[in-house]
Amino acid sequence: MKRLHDLWKETELLKRNDFSRLGNHSIDDCLDEGQRRQMISAASVKIEELFDILRIDHVNDHNTRDTPMRFAKMLVCETLEGRYSEPPKITEFENIGAFDQLIVTGPIELRSTCAHHLMPIHGSVFIGILPSKDGKIIGLSKYDRIVNYFAARLQIQEELVKQIGDFICEKTDPQGLAVRISAVHMCKTHRGVKASQASRMVTNAFYGRLESDAAKKSEFLQECAALEKF
């Protein structure tokens, strides 16, 4: 019987030029369960090779025996999950009451992975929405799901903040939208320059009235500051 990783080598998915997609974009078709298992198995074989190069015993050492498979599974099903799956299902509601005031949600816990060193990015996301009277409103939990979806890829913060904002704009067509990320990059705190754990990177993406209306932008930033203190 063919081994899973051999099956993976033959899949159309591997033959297609998904490699040209950026690492923080999703591949063309999401993986079904069988393809996911094949990808994990094929990745695991490569991680065993990497361990061999690094002279880590993945056969006899009880601590590292299952690590290549465990690591491959984590990459496919957790760290990079947003690359291989459909975006979250978004329940959209008509804005029946024509609500047109600022809604701010956060902090939404951000757990992502840096594209340069594969180290964790950990932080908070705040989202401000100025709905259109004739636009859509989405369920509150969906903002968290959207953040999780785009975070589960190899990211840089400037692109992540825009991906989240572009997606929400596309779904809800609001008068204005703002996304703010404040995060610690462990590639900076746990290696290299070994910066303070308190060292954060802040990025904002503003759209429509939340970009052009200084009073509304300032209201959003004040709400973020207040929510951050909770």
Ligand X SMILES: Nc1nc2c(ncn2[C@@H]2O[C@H](COP(=O)(O)OP(=O)(O)OP(=O)(O)O)[C@@H](O)[C@H]2O)c(=O)[nH]1
What distance in Å separates the CA atoms of residue 173 and residue 137, rounded to the nearest whole number?
9
| CA 208/CA 140 separation, integer angstroms | 21
Q: How far apart are CA 200 and CA 113, in angstroms?
A: 15
Nearest residue to ligand X, using CB? 192
Q: Binding marks (x or -) toward ligand X, 73..112, rule CB under 6 A? A: ----------------------------------------
Smallest gap from residue 114 Cβ to ligand X (A): 4
185 touches ligand X by CB under 6 A? yes
- Percentage helix, strand, coil for the chain under 3-state DSSP, each rounded to 5: 45, 20, 35
Spatial distance between the Cα atoms of 204 and 197, rounded to a whole number of angstroms: 21
Q: How far is the CB of 181 from ligand X (least distance, A)?
A: 9
Q: Which is nearer to ligand X, 103 or 195 (CB)?
A: 195
Contact 126, 224 (CB under 8 A): yes
Of 76 and 160, which has the nearer Cβ to ligand X? Answer: 160
Q: Which of 7, 156, 169, 221 binds ligand X (CB under 6 A)?
A: 156
Type of residue numbered 221: L
Measuring CA to CA, which residue among 128, 135, 132 is closest to residue 100? 132
DSSP H/E element including 206: strand 201-208
Q: How many chain residues bind ligand X (CB under 6 A)?
A: 10
Which stretch, 6-14, 93-101, 132-140, 153-161, contacts ligand X (CB under 6 A)?
Answer: 153-161
Answer for the pair 121, 111: CB distance below 8 angstroms, yes or no: yes
Smallest separation, CB 117 to ligand X (Å): 6
Stretch that binds ligand X, among 20-28, 82-90, 125-133, 187-195 (CB under 6 A): 187-195
Binding-site ranges for ligand X (CB under 6 A): 114, 116, 156-158, 185, 187-188, 192-193
